[in-house]
Amino acid sequence: MPEKIIGILGGMGPEATIDLFYKIIKFTPAEKDQDHLRIIIDNNPKIPDRTAAILGKGEDPLPALQESARNLEKAGVDFIIIPCNTAHYFLSSIQKSVKIPVLNMIEEAAKETQQRIFPIQKVGLLASIGIYKTEIYHQHFNKFNIEVISPEEKDKEEVMKVIYAVKAGNLSDEVKGNILEIAQKLIDKGAEVIITGCTEIPLILKEGDVSVPTIDPTQVLAKAAVQKARL
């Protein structure tokens, strides 16, 4: 059976898209160029801000998300992956706009956490305010009886500042220190795992940076995409 072509609906932000692309390459068993998977990327940074839209303060990103999905389908991809957690709030509507599957990064992250770190009761979530407001992670993790712990309200604002700093290319020790401080507060509240639930956060917070395991949904999605493409 021929390998499937992966479509990346990217640009939210561009570095997070590169990060997913890189992780797919690293997860692919290959000894030469031809062993790698074919990937078509629509890197569309013009998609309106997802969190602003969810908070009622910005333009609806759904039409642009659907357009990118349709472009990937027309280009011949077999399935789509989206390196943006907050965009998953619009996932069902994106899926309705195309006839090919769109993988759910948050669902994959919940499955991976339950399988890799068992038994587990509580995870700490670092994410955008849009993710906290919609509770998408809560919905998927609750299926496995895993409680999701969110930061205090003022710390949610700090997480957003870190996310936008990383989007602006600021990967300084100060920015990293800010996210580590909030991660530690979640651990102090009982989190057994930290979920880096915004695709910018794994660019600055790595496995081993905190005292508990971390789950990087971008990495989980990359692994799932490679498995699906090679079936």
Q: Strand 6-10's sheet: what is its strand order? A: 39-43, 6-10, 79-81
Three-point CA angle 107, 26, 100, nearest 5°: 45
Q: Which is nearest to 49 in space by CA: 105, 19, 90, 93?
A: 90
**Distance in angstroms (rounded) separating the CA atoms of residues 5 and 38:** 5
Active site includes 107? no
Rg of the chain over Cα atoms, rounded to whole angstroms, equals 17
Active site includes 198? yes
Q: Name the maximum alpha-carbon separation found in the chain.
A: 52
- The residue from 198, 210, 225, 229 that is catalytic is 198
Task: Collapse the DSSP code of 122 into the 3-class scheme (helix H, G, I; strand E, B; otherwise coil) and give the result.
Answer: strand
Q: Sort strands 79-81 and 6-10 into parallel, antiparallel or unpaired.
A: parallel
Residues 6+ apart with CB under 8 A from 78: 4, 5, 6, 7, 100, 229
- The residue from 39, 84, 193, 204 that is catalytic is 84
| Residues known to be catalytic | 84, 198
